[in-house]
RNA sequence: GGGCUCGUAGUGUAGUGGUCUAACACGCCUCCCUGUCACGGAGGAGAUCGCCGGUUCAAAUCCGGUCGAGCCCGCCA
């Protein structure tokens, strides 16, 4: 007999079917036993009256792999309105080890309990509440892909093992590469720009590695980044509009598609406008300093509290939890950024903030070969190094005006669901202290 | 790198000098229970209170060290 999934059992009412899955919960009521079996589609209830069938499960723990043949009965008292009767139970994989962590009740996500959560991740992810986080994440990544494919982007995969040179800024992991020194890519930045010369519009969703000694709720050492790069832009606005439209689309659809899951995870209500408000860095400093009395006008970047503050401000003043902060000062720029032609003290660079956290950074690139070389030298970079010379080759052979974004998928998922720590949105997070599981 | 905070059964917590021979809930084991769905009831096992040292008549509790963890800042996405 062919296996039927829990969610499809309703089309087999009155028929004998086979379900296969994991023992999720047992409730023994004397002459009557309810067991829940979990498969990839959900959970189905089975009613067992035959004592010898119940005995097959004696001593077996949650997680035991079962195959159960039974009659599908409509029953208003059953969760989901139906259940299996007169089951024949076959134990496929017996489990005798007690589950180290709860599997049918929500797990603690308090910060002081996260270590336990991740230490028991292998089993904890089977918890239905934990699964919801990663089903939503999967759905969001799919929405991103669908949106970008519809805009004629090509998905690419760039190397993660790269030559010593990097884009600067973040600390990198160094490793031995057949006697040479290599690093783990901190972003696909240089390669995605090279690929503009091939496909105009490219994106990549993949891991990037940061060796930052940061222990906060928003940092991990292995980050899933969405990198987008688009050529033949008429202005920096083209980039901000594309990324803004994408985020609006993904958030709206996610809140629609996963309404039940988000509600049960206590996600906040989504407050969004289709065009995100924009503030310059200087304006944020000004508004923040005036409101809090803390003078930030000399800061080159936003301080973490300003990121929270401006999102709250935009939420209450503009009815939008996502904002663009534009016109970052040249002091904070990277060598490949394009300096604002109308104001050389600022860069064509905006950050996208959502619910108090930087989600994406969206700059336009410098395409003038001589200017780029100059900016590299100013940043202390040798253009002859192998990590850069091939990058520069792409410019010598023609790259159009382009820009894009580096977009933190983990942070985006975290904030969409309203989790408190980026690690909660990652299956097996990597941080200063954790390399396993 | 700097600062602050926290380590008590498998899990989450209470207990902050003596009544702790360490309590409660979930989970686990035994028994009862025919409509449970956070099932209910009775009983039971499970903790050298992170580790080492010190103070004290007396330490889970105070002090020092150490290991582990969390949060914030810096840095960074």
In this prediction, residue A168 carries a pLDDT of 62
Instruction: State pTM to two decimals.
Output: 0.94
Beta-carbon contacts of residue A142 (< 8 Å; ≥ 6 apart):
none
Residue A340 pLDDT class (50, 70, 90 cuts): very high
Distance CA A380, CA A359 (A): 28
Q: Are A398 and A197 in contact (CB under 8 A)?
A: yes
- Closest residue to B33 (CA to C1') is A30
In this prediction, residue A214 carries a pLDDT of 85
A194/B23 CA-to-C1' distance in Å = 65
Q: Which nucleotide is nearest to A29 (CA to C1')?
A: B33
Q: Which nucleotide is nearest to A211 (CA to C1')?
A: B76
Q: Is A338 helix (H, G, I), strand (E, B) or coil?
A: coil
First to last CA, chain A: 37
Q: Is A116 helix (H, G, I), strand (E, B) or coil?
A: helix
Measured CA to CA in angstroms, residue A193 lies from A132, A160, A365, A370 at distances of 35, 15, 9, 17
C-alpha A318 chain-centroid distance: 26
Nearest to A32 by CA among A79, A74, A85: A85
Output the six-digit token pair for A100.
């180290």
Which contacts qualify for A79-85: CB closer than 8 Å, 24 or more apart?
A79/A43, A79/A45, A80/A10, A80/A42, A80/A44, A80/A45, A81/A10, A82/A9, A82/A10, A82/A13, A82/A44, A83/A44, A83/A45, A83/A46, A83/A47, A84/A9, A84/A17, A84/A19, A84/A44, A84/A45, A84/A46, A84/A47, A85/A47
What integer best gives the mean pLDDT of chain A? 93
The ipTM estimated for the assembled molecules is 0.89
Which bases of chain B are contacted by protein, using any atom under 7 A from a CB?
1-3, 6, 10-13, 26-30, 32-40, 68-77
Does residue A387 carry a pLDDT above 70?
Answer: yes
Mean pLDDT score, A112-137: 93
Q: Which nucleotide is nearest to A75 (CA to C1')?
A: B35
Q: Are A262 and A136 in contact (CB under 8 A)?
A: yes
A46/B43 CA-to-C1' distance in Å = 29
A169/B2 CA-to-C1' distance in Å = 21
Distance CA A128, CA A421 (A): 19
Q: Tokens 């919960």 identify what position?
A: A25
Residue-wise pLDDT tens digits, A43-97: 999 999 999 999 999 999 999 999 999 999 999 999 989 999 999 999 999 999 9
Distance CA A38, CA A34 (A): 13
A83/B3 CA-to-C1' distance in Å = 57
Residue A166 pLDDT class (50, 70, 90 cuts): low
Angle, helices A409-417 vs A128-150, to 10°: value is 120
DSSP code, position A401: S
- Beta-bridge partners for A364: A403
A431/B59 CA-to-C1' distance in Å = 36
Q: Are A362 and A403 in contact (CB under 8 A)?
A: yes
Q: Which nucleotide is nearest to A79 (CA to C1')?
A: B37
Distance CA A389, CA A370 (A): 14
A54/B44 CA-to-C1' distance in Å = 23
- Closest residue to B12 (CA to C1') is A108
pLDDT > 70 fraction of chain A, expressed in percent and rounded: 99
Distance CA A3, CA A23 (A): 16
Residue A210 Ramachandran class (φ > 0 left, ψ -120 to 50 alpha, else beta) = beta
Output the six-digit token pair for A210.
């940061």
A31/B33 CA-to-C1' distance in Å = 8
Q: Which nucleotide is nearest to A215 (CA to C1')?
A: B71
Does residue A163 carry a pLDDT above 90?
Answer: no
Of A22-26, A116-120, A359-363, A380-384, the poorest mean pLDDT is in A380-384
Q: Which nucleotide is nearest to A49 (CA to C1')?
A: B34
- Beta-bridge partners for A208: A223
Nearest to A393 by CA among A164, A163, A195, A168: A195
A210/B58 CA-to-C1' distance in Å = 52
A115/B68 CA-to-C1' distance in Å = 10
- Closest residue to B76 (CA to C1') is A170
- What is the total residue count of chain A? 437
In this prediction, residue A167 carries a pLDDT of 65
pLDDT > 90 fraction of chain A, expressed in percent and rounded: 84
Q: Which nucleotide is nearest to A433 (CA to C1')?
A: B69
């Amino acid at each position: 007999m062919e296996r039927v999934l829990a969610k499809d059992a309703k089309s087999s009412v009155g028929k004998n079917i086979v379900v296969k899955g994991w023992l999720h919960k047992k409730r023994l009521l004397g002459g009557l036993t309810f067991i829940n079996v979990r498969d990839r589609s959900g959970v189905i209830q089975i009613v067992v009256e035959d004592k010898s069938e119940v005995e097959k499960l004696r001593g077996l723990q949650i997680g035991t792999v079962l195959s159960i043949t039974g009659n599908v009965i409509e029953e208003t008292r059953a969760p989901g309105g139906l259940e299996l009767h007169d089951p024949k139970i076959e134990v496929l994989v017996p489990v005798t080890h007690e589950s180290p962590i709860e599997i049918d009740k929500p797990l603690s996500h308090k910060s002081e309990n996260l270590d336990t959560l991740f230490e028991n991740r292998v089993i904890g992810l089977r918890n239905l509440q934990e699964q919801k986080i990663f089903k939503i994440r999967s759905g969001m990544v799919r929405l991103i892909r669908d949106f970008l494919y519809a805009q004629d982007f090509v998905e690419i995969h760039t190397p993660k093992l790269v030559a010593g040179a990097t884009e600067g800024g973040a600390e990198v992991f160094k490793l031995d590469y057949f006697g040479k020194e290599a690093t783990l890519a901190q972003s696909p930045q240089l390669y995605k720009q090279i690929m503009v010369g091939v496909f105009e519009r490219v994106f990549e969703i993949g891991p990037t590695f940061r060796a930052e000694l940061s222990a906060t709720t928003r940092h991990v050492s292995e980050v899933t980044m969405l990198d987008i790069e688009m050529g033949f832009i008429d202005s920096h606005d083209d980039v901000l509009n594309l990324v803004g439209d994408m985020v609006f689309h993904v958030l709206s659809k996610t809140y629609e598609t996963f309404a039940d899951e988000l509600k049960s995870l206590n996600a906040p209500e989504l407050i969004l406008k289709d065009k995100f408000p924009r503030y310059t860095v200087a304006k944020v400093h000004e508004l923040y300093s005036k409101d809090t009395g803390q003078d930030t006008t000399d800061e080159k970047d936003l301080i973490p509290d300003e990121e929270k503050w401006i999102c709250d401000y935009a939420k209450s003043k503009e009815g939008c939890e996502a904002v663009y902060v534009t016109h970052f000062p040249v002091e904070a720029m990277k060598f490949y950024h394009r300096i604002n032609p109308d104001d050389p003290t600022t860069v064509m660079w905006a950050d996208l903030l959502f619910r108090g956290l930087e989600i994406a950074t969206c700059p336009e690139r410098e395409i003038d070969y001589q200017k780029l070389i100059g900016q590299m030298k100013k940043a202390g970079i040798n253009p002859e190094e192998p990590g850069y010379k091939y990058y520069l080759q792409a410019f010598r052979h023609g790259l159009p005006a382009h820009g894009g974004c580096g977009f933190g998928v983990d942070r985006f998922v975290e904030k969409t669901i309203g989790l408190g720590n980026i690690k909660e949105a990652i299956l097996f997070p990597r941080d200063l202290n954790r390399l396993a599981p």
